[in-house]
Amino acid sequence: MKLTCLLILILLTQLNAKTYSQKVSIQKRNSTFPEIFKEISSQTGYHFFYNRDEVLKQGKVNVTLHSLPLEEAIGQCLKGTGMYYKIFDHTVVIKVTAPGDLTTISRTIANAVITGKVTDETGKPLPGAAVKTKSGSASTVTDEKGYFKLTVNHTQETLVITYVGYLTKEIALAGKSEIEVQLLLNNELLNEVVVTSFGITRNKESTSYAVQKVNEQAIQASKQYNIGNALQGKVAGLQITSSSGTPGASADIILRGGTSLDGNNQPLFVIDGIPVDNSTIAEPQGSSGQLARTVSNSNRAVDINPDDIESVTVLKGPAAAALYGLKAAAGAIIISTKKGVSGQGKITFNNDFELQEQNRLPDFQNVYKMGTGGQDVNSRLSWGPLSGENATLYNNAESFFQTGRIWTNNLSFSGGTDKTTFYASAANTDQKGIVPQTGFKKKSFRLNSDLNVIDKLKVGFTSNYIHTLSQQALQGPGVNNGSGGVFGSIAYWPLSDDMKNYLNADGTRRRLVSNINEDIDNPYWSVHNNPVSSKLDRFIGTGQVKYEPLLWLDFTYRIGVDFYRENYQSLRSPGTSLNQNSNGGLLESEYFNKILTSTFLANAHTKIGKSTGLTLLIGQNFELNNYTNNTVFGTNFLNPGFVSMNNTANKFNTQYLADKKLIGVFGNFQVDYKSIFFLDVTGRNDWSSTLPEQNRSFFYPSIGGSAVFSKLLNMKSAVFSYGKVRATYAKVGKDAPPNKLQTQLTTDPGIVLGNGFGYGFYANNSFLRPEYTNSLEIGTELGFFSNRLNFDITYYRIESKDQITQPRVSQGTGFIFKLINGGTILNKGFELSLNAMPVNRNDFKWTVDLNWSTNKATVTELPLGTSVFRNSNAIAVFNLAEGSSFLNGNFYGIRGTTYTKNENGQVIIGDNGYPTVNTSQQVDLGVSRQPDWIAGLSNSFTYKNLNLSFLIDARKGGTIFNGTEYELVKSGLSTKTLNRNQMVVLPGVTKNADGSYVPNMKQVLLDQNYYTTIYAANAENFLEDGTWYRLRYLSLSYTLPQKLLKQTPVKKLSLNLTAKNLVLITNYSGFDPELSSGGAGVGGTGTVGIDYLGFPSTRGFSFGINATF
């Protein structure tokens, strides 16, 4: 504490001395007056206004001044020259004229007009370059020819010129009213500004941790409508997995592996400095039987309009996001939206139209037809006789999926004056899915505005309203782990029956099997009669005030709100084969979520001498989260044709309320020595309402440093351009979910026998303590060939301890799950980012970006002395396989039933010649769903007005459990069953009476019973390699020449063609090895690497037009 106070005292003393030093000391010989004025300006901060030619005529003089006040010093300099001066605010006016005329001159100072042109090093104009005064009093942008015009307070201002991809340049006007500026290319963007905690910008060179920035162009090139998917392959260490190819499907986003056994592993999303919600509806409250893997619900990142995004900064580890606190233990994705620029109004219109089709489907056997036991009988199975050469067969799976389409329109307005800027947009997305009767519609309206009230006071606000409508179809196991998922029905529909023929002549439902208990829902009937729909209204808004009373000090207050209301409905029409819903069922849920944040920041910065920079940030943060869910589930429709909750005979109501308060104070101290050595120290203390009072307060720090050794050792050469090493350690705390301190009572009839209250499945804990994540990160950044080839290499070690988990416990305790502290996860990994510019000529430019990463997640401790942690939401196939984590083993593991094996791992064959199945317990299958490595390679080629860009994605290793293939085996439609009715000797050993083993020699028949009860009972038969390589997108765009648009109001017009998921190379036999059956709605390790009766991914082709007025 004493050291902190001392540092603050030193800092304030230095700042105070700098601010109030107005004494002038000069000793110059044979110097011009502009040189003398410049020296006085550097000592006092006062600007000089004069006619350079007139002043130079005064010749050169000798000046010696010792600690004189400003006015006395100027008087001594001008003595005997015939020149006069007058001070207006912080401007000194010099004129060879009578003193009375100086007042007239001063009136023109505030209205000096500066004109100029901005070009690159080849002389090519840079349209859209930002030009502003260093004081922030005025700003504008260059036109299409690189010209600008700016009104400044005085001609002694300094202009700051910036352009994406180029080094920032400062130009001192020194009395000039016309300038030309040439910007130098910054190939590696080492000096780029990145957005870190609470919207604070920092020079990337000063960071001590890995940060990656994705710009607007990279986001737009992907043509993705969920920002999560738009980041695929663009950030090292970021793994994004879609839940399916349905409209609005969620994206599971993981940075550097998971940090929680069964909690939220998603990174924090931040928009314009405030945290926002990115949750996904997992399992609605009540006894509806609906699961996370039943419907691919959207994660709320889908609400963000990609066209509004200026840039995305990914803070990968706890160190980078330490100031954001416990929500950022898994990293943070910082989104900055577009702002207006003063000086030039702009209207932009985008229109994109995309056609989609299913990417790939599993193979179906067409040799055997409907039946069981080899007999031609009416059945939903395909274990009948041979189809025959002239048999009529239907490609039911491929015929079911339709051509989807997405239509997106975006209109934006931006502009402003020297005092006010604004950006406004309206966007509409209308998607029809590849699954009939599915779709997603989104409307988004945004207004951002900033106002310079006075020179030192700025205010700003952002507002975004979103309205979405979604309609989905049931997938996976349907409800209550029974039939009802659409592809589950396709997997059992015999090819000898036309699935499209789902209605009788009188309009009633045609059944495949007359017995409703054995029948399945026809997929066409299901999408029309068992839809799942939602309607959401959301508002995200921020307000900010920034006050800079002194050059070295500023205060910021920001308040933000994110709230939405979602109405969710799942209909099960009478006559459905869904378990416990045959007479109709209706689920209606209303969700309300509000996050209110308040943040205060005080930021001070100065220099000690000329070499050491100090920055101190202190702040306070308050967050209030309100969540409400009201659910009603009704069954047995009184009138089969009327959909209403009032029309159900049995109703079950549930209400869930959760309030959470979080208060935090934090600080950050930075030292910059000669822009070579950087030190970064942070500390934060949180108080969380979800923890017991004795554990409510917890503190966590971070410390990092970096050194630019290329500057230190003066190593710059024609080959080597830049070198930096960095290291950081961080600790981040994490609290419990709401309402977990006291065990709750329930009236759920599925749990409580009879009337009254009883305990539910979950036992809570009033002695919880916060969990902690400790992170160590080491990295280096290297640049070669004038920074045209750059590397960023990182090693990290992240350990998450004292996990707040809900492991399964003995039901003898009266519960199924118990909330406790226990469990440790260790993640280790490497990341590599490469960017290069192999060619940069006047008309041709080629850029390359490569991102590669590997992560190994291991469970080093589990609670209650257990050796396995079961993730109930990650069940692959009920009673066959599920996602699990194993002590001293894989975090992303799979457990399942297997053949019985001896100590040497050989399959034991029974007396009947068939393998014996160990159905009594599920065991570790010894595989990991996590890939060995992931990579993304982007290329962009620009020739004059033509651009071609593409992204190749790759994933090596990682095991997929193919639950869809399991169901195809059971139904008889799997190609694995084509060798049925053959006599074979199955590999394995038989056990002798003396306990020894000999190779099996007994022949057996591969019949229906073998495949459905023995082969299908071995989970290992459905494990597949998850390696894949894909062409994520290929985009071609053309910008029309300016000369064609001269007579039109259009300033810029471009056309683009994009193909998505054009090529997929994999040995995986299912839909797509990148899919996740439960999406982002499943916590812990999720359902990454589990494929179970979902929907295929899509291949798309889009055409777009972009016009600027």
pLDDT tens-place string over residues 1033-1048: 999 999 999 888 888 9
Structure confidence at residue 1011 (pLDDT): 97
Q: What is the mean pLDDT of residues 698-726?
A: 91
Residue type at 694 in one-letter notation: Q
pLDDT at 736 over 60: yes
The pLDDT confidence band at residue 146, using thresholds 50, 70 and 90, is: confident
Instruction: For residue 840, name the pLDDT band (cuts at 50, 70, 90).
Output: confident
What are 416-426's pLDDT values in tens digits? 887 899 999 99
pLDDT of 14 higher than 50: no
Q: What is the CB-side half-sphere exposure of residue 633 using CA atoms within 13 A?
A: 18
Specify the amino acid at residue 384. Answer: G
Give the mean model confidence (pLDDT) for residues 266-282: 88
Averaged over 845-850, what is the pLDDT? 95
Q: Could you tell me which of 596, 538, 504, 582 has the C-alpha nearest to residue 304?
A: 538
User: Cβ neighbours of residue 290 under 8 Å, at least 6 residues apart?
Assistant: 283, 284, 479, 570, 587
Task: Give the C-alpha separation, 611 to 590, whole Å.
Answer: 59
- Which secondary-structure segment (H or E) carries 793? strand 789-801
Is pLDDT of 8 > 60? no
The reported pLDDT for the residue numbered 186 is 64
More confidently predicted of 172 and 705: 705
pLDDT > 70? residue 34? yes
Q: Between 489 and 716, where is the model more confident?
A: 489
Q: How confident is the model over 198-215, as a mean pLDDT?
A: 80
* pLDDT confidence of residue 818: 83
Q: What is the CATH number of domain 2-99?
A: 3.55.50.30
Joined tokens for residue 174: 């020194």
Place of tokens 């940090």: 259
Q: How far is CA 841 from the centre of its chain?
A: 34
Q: For helices 33-44 and 70-78, give the axis angle rounded to 10 degrees.
A: 180
Residue pair 334/313 in contact (Cβ under 8 Å)? The answer is yes
Average pLDDT over residues 660-678: 94
At 331, give phi and psi (nearest 5°): 95, 180
Q: Hey, is 668 helix, strand or coil? A: strand
pLDDT at residue 1 above 50? Answer: no
Of the ranges 185-189, 598-602, 1044-1048, which is most confident?
A: 598-602
Span 296-314, mean pLDDT? 91
Between 526 and 172, residue with greater pLDDT: 526
> 3-class SS at 864?
helix
Which range is most confident: 79-93, 739-753, 800-814? 800-814
pLDDT of residue 533: 94
Burial-class residue 993 by CB neighbours within 10 Å (0-12, 13-18, 19+): exposed
**Predicted local confidence at residue 18, as pLDDT:** 39
973 touches 365 (CB < 8 A): yes
pLDDT digits (tens, 9 = 90+) for 536-584: 999 999 999 999 999 899 999 999 999 999 999 999 999 888 888 889 9
Which tokens in the block code for residue 482? 């029974």
Does the pLDDT value for residue 15 go beyond 80? no
Residue-level pLDDT at 696? 94
pLDDT in the model for residue 886: 94
With 60 as the cut, is the pLDDT of residue 90 above it?
A: yes
Q: What is the pLDDT of residue 190?
A: 44
pLDDT band at 617 (very low <50, low <70, confident <90, very high): very high
| pLDDT at residue 20, rounded to an integer | 34
Q: Which CATH class, in words, describes the domain spanning 300-378+391-892+929-958+1026-1108?
A: mainly beta
What average pLDDT does the segment 676-695 reach? Answer: 94
Pick from 807-811, 873-877, 981-985: least confident: 873-877
Neighbours of 644 (CB within 10 A): 12
pLDDT of residue 703: 94
Confidence check: pLDDT of 786 > 80: yes
State residue 502's pLDDT score: 94
pLDDT digits (tens, 9 = 90+) for 394-408: 999 999 999 999 999
User: Residue 535: pLDDT band by 50, 70, 90 thresholds?
Assistant: very high
Among 291-295, 694-698, 795-799, 895-899, which stretch is predicted with the lowest mean pLDDT?
291-295
pLDDT at residue 187 tops 60? no
Which CATH fold would you assign to the domain 112-182?
Answer: Immunoglobulin-like (2.60.40)
pLDDT reported for residue 12: 38
CA distance 176 to 53: 11
**pLDDT of the residue at 559:** 96
Ranked by mean pLDDT, the top range of 25-39, 207-221, 434-448 is 434-448
pLDDT at 990: 95
Note the pTM of the prediction, 2 decimals.
Answer: 0.83
Order the strands of the 130-133 sheet from edge to edge.
Answer: 139-141, 130-133, 158-162, 169-172
Question: Does the pLDDT of residue 282 top 80, yes or no?
Answer: no
Higher pLDDT, 1068 or 718: 1068
Average confidence score pLDDT of the chain: 87
DSSP conformation letters of 431-473: EE-SSTT-EEEEEEEEEEEEEEEETTEEEEEEEEEEEEEEEE-
Q: Kindly give, in sequence order, each residue whose CB lies less than 8 Å from that of residue 403, ignoring residues fewer than 6 positions away.
A: 355, 356, 357, 434
DSSP sequence for 46-100? -EEE--HHHHHTT-EEEEEEEEEEHHHHHHHHHTTTT-EEEEETTEEEEESS-GG
Kindly tell me if the per-residue pLDDT of 329 is higher than 50. Answer: yes
Q: Where do the domains of the chain lie? A: 2-99, 112-182, 300-378+391-892+929-958+1026-1108
* Sequential DSSP letters for 1013-1058: IIGGG-GGGGEEE--EEEEEEEEEEEEPPGGGGTTSS-SEEEEEEE
Please give the pLDDT value at position 22: 67
Q: For the ranges 28-42, 232-246, 441-455, 1076-1090, which has the lowest average pLDDT?
A: 1076-1090
Residues in the chain: 1109
pLDDT value at residue 292 = 64
Spatial distance between the Cα atoms of 311 and 309, rounded to a whole number of angstroms: 6
Q: Indicate whether 293 pLDDT > 90.
A: no
Neighbours of 409 (CB within 10 A): 15
What percentage of the chain's residues is helix, strand, coil (to nearest 5)?
15, 50, 35
Q: Report the C-alpha gap between 829 and 794 in whole angstroms.
A: 8
**pLDDT for residue 790 is more than 70:** yes
- DSSP-derived secondary structure letter, 267: P
CA angle 891, 894, 896 (to 5 degrees): 150
pLDDT value at 37 more than 90: no
More confident call, 449 vs 127: 449
Which pLDDT value is given to residue 495? 96
Question: Tokens 């004038």 identify what position?
Answer: 786
Helix (H) or strand (E) holding 791, with range, is strand 789-801
The better pLDDT of the pair 850, 746 is held by: 850
The phi and psi torsions of 291 (rounded to 5 degrees) equal -115, 170
Look at the alpha carbons of 494, 500, 504, 510 in this order and tell me if their dihedral is positive or negative.
positive
pLDDT of residue 615: 94
Q: Flag whether pLDDT at 98 surpasses 80.
A: no
Predicted pLDDT at 156: 66
Nearest to 429 by CA among 635, 622, 225: 225
E-state strands within 957-1027: 959-962, 983-985, 989-991, 997-999, 1003-1005, 1023-1025
DSSP labels, 130-145: EEEETTSS-EEE--TT
For the ranges 126-140, 623-637, 677-691, 899-913, the lowest mean pLDDT is seen at: 126-140
